[in-house]
Structure 1
Amino acid sequence: MILWTVQTYEVWQKMQEVGYLRGNVAHVEEDWISCYQWMIEQMRLRIKEPSHDNAYSHPVWAWYQWKNDKKKKPDLRSSALLRRGEKGVLIEFEIEQDSVLLSDFELWHFVLNYWYLPSSLQDMNQFEEALRKINLSFYRQKPLPNKDFHMKIVRSWEKIFDLDWVDDEQEITSTQNDKSIQATMWEVRLEQIRSVREFVAK
C-alpha cells in the first residue's frame, strides 16, 4: 500500500537519525487526546500490534486518498498542511496493508467534535429528539452524563472505518471514490520510504 505523510523538516531529520517515525502525544492538542486514545483502541482491535517495544504509542498519520481517487497524493500548494512558512517534507512510503487502519477523514471530525454519527438524517433527528426529551445535547455536554447515550455516540463512530458505507441521501458522506481517506499506523521505517519532497508550507 502506497501512502503519504506530511511532516516537519525537523521530524524528518530525527527519522533519519533513529531509522523510524512514530507518533508523539506531545504534538496532540489537549482537547483531542481522548479522541486519539479512541483511535489507538480501534487500531489495537483492527490491525497488527506494533513490533517495537514502545507498544501502543500514538499513531503516525498519513493519507491514502487526499481528496478523492483522482487526487490521492497531497497537493503541496494547499494551505493548512503545516504552519504557514514552515519547512516540511512529503514522505511517500510503502507499507503492509495489515499494518494500516484506513478511515474517512471527513467523518473523523464527528469523533473530534463528540458528535453522533447517524446512519441517516432521520436517524440524527430521532437521536437529537430523544436527547431533548431528557434535556441533553451532545453539542453542549461533552461527554454526555447519560452512559447509554454516550455509548451510542461512541459506537456510532465506528462507521468511519467502513469506506463502502454511504447514507442514502449522501448528505453525511460520499462514495468511496470521492472520500478523503486518512491512514494510521504504529510506525514508518526508513526502509519503507520511496521518496521525500521538501516544501515550504503555504
Structure 2
Amino acid sequence: MHLSLTSAIQKWQMEFSKNGRVMCWTVMERSTWQLLKAEGKLTCPIGDACDDPIFQDAYAWMKNSMASAGIVAPTHGLSPWWCWITRGQNHPEPFIEDVEGLRDPVVLQLAVPSEQVVLSCFDLWHFVLNKWYVWSSELDEQDFDRAKENAGEGSDAAVQLQQRMQHSWSAVFELDQTVVDMGPFETKSIQGCFWTLRLEYVTAVIEPIALTSYP
C-alpha cells in the first residue's frame, strides 16, 4: 500500500535526519555564494532559477506537493533550492559533470533542518518532467496506455487520465519503491528541495577541482 504524500515525505525526512538535519549538497555560482555570505539567507526568485520553461508544469507540481505536505514557500514567485542528498552509491556529493554550464561554480555542503527539505527520486523525477505515467505493474501500464488511446482530447476521460498520471507521480517521494525498475535503494540518486538557504546551514565549501567524474 502506498503511503500518503505527507507520510512518504516525512518518512524520508526522518530516515536521513542526523540530529534534526539532512546533509546535502547544492551547486551555485560563486557570486551567489558571496551574496549568501553578505545577506545571511537567500530565497530563489523564479526569474533567477534555471528551471526550463518547457518543464514549468513539473516545477509547479513539485511546489504544490511541498505545500500539500506543509512545506510552504515564504512568499509568492519563488523557486525552491535544489540539492543532492545522494548522487550515487557511496557517493553523496555531486560529480564534476553536475557543475557544467556554470561560469564560476562552487558546491556548498549543507545541513538543512530535516522538516524543511523534501526528498525525491532523481530518476523518477524525469517521469514528471516528461509527463509520463509511473506504472505500478506491467498490467497497470498496459491499462493506462489503452485508456489513453481511447480517450478523446479534452474529454472527461482525458481529464481523468491526466489526474491519474499526476497521482502516479507521488511515487517520486517513495524512495524505497521498486516501480519502473529504478534499481535498488542503495544506488539511487536522491535530490531534495527546500525554500530558504541560510548561511548557518553551510558546513563546507567544495571547489569543482575536488569533485570526481561520473563513472
Name the TM-score class by shorter chain.
Answer: 0.7 to 0.9
Amino acid at match of 1:82: E
2:173 is matched with: 161
Give the RMSD, CA atoms, in angstroms: 2.5
2:65 is matched with: 42
* Cα distance in 1 between the residues matched to 2:144 and 2:165: 10
1:100 is matched with: 117
* Cα distance in 2 between the residues matched to 1:18 and 1:158: 35
* Cα distance in 2 between the residues matched to 1:110 and 1:47: 24
1:150 is matched with: 162
Amino acid at match of 1:197: I
Structure 2, unmatched stretches of 5+, are 1-21
* Cα distance in 1 between the residues matched to 2:142 and 2:82: 33
* Cα distance in 1 between the residues matched to 2:187 and 2:86: 9
**Contact 1:47 / 1:101 at 8 angstroms: preserved in 2?**
no
Go from structure 1 to structure 2 and tell me whether the alpha carbon gap of 1:135 and 1:199 turns closer, same or farther (over 3 Å shift).
Answer: same
Give the total of aligned pairs: 187
2:52 is matched with: 29
How far apart are 1:23 and its partner, in Å?
2.4
How far apart are 1:36 and its partner, in Å?
0.9
SS in 1 for 2:176: coil
Normalising by structure 2, what TM-score?
0.78
* Cα distance in 1 between the residues matched to 2:44 and 2:138: 35
How far apart are 1:9 and its partner, in Å?
1.4
SS in 2 for 1:63: strand
How far apart are 1:135 and its partner, in Å?
5.8
Amino acid at match of 1:154: Q
How far apart are 1:18 and its partner, in Å?
1.6
Amino acid at match of 2:91: K
**Contact 2:148 / 2:158 at 8 angstroms: preserved in 1?**
no
Report matched runs for 1:49-198 at 5 Å.
Answer: 49-50=72-73, 52=74, 54=75, 57-68=78-89, 70-76=90-96, 79-83=97-101, 86-134=103-151, 146-167=158-179, 171-198=180-207
1:7 is matched with: 28
* Cα distance in 1 between the residues matched to 2:135 and 2:147: 13
How far apart are 1:56 and its partner, in Å?
7.2
* Cα distance in 1 between the residues matched to 2:167 and 2:109: 33
Q: Which has the higher helix share?
A: 2
Give percent identity, aligned residues only: 26
How far apart are 1:93 and its partner, in Å?
0.8
* Cα distance in 1 between the residues matched to 2:163 and 2:143: 16
* Cα distance in 2 between the residues matched to 1:33 and 1:116: 18
How far apart are 1:10 and its partner, in Å?
2.0
How far apart are 1:95 and its partner, in Å?
1.2
Q: Which runs of 4+ in 1 moved over 4 A?
A: none
Q: Relative to structure 2, which stretch is displaced further, 8-17 or 153-162? A: 8-17
* Cα distance in 1 between the residues matched to 2:45 and 2:77: 11
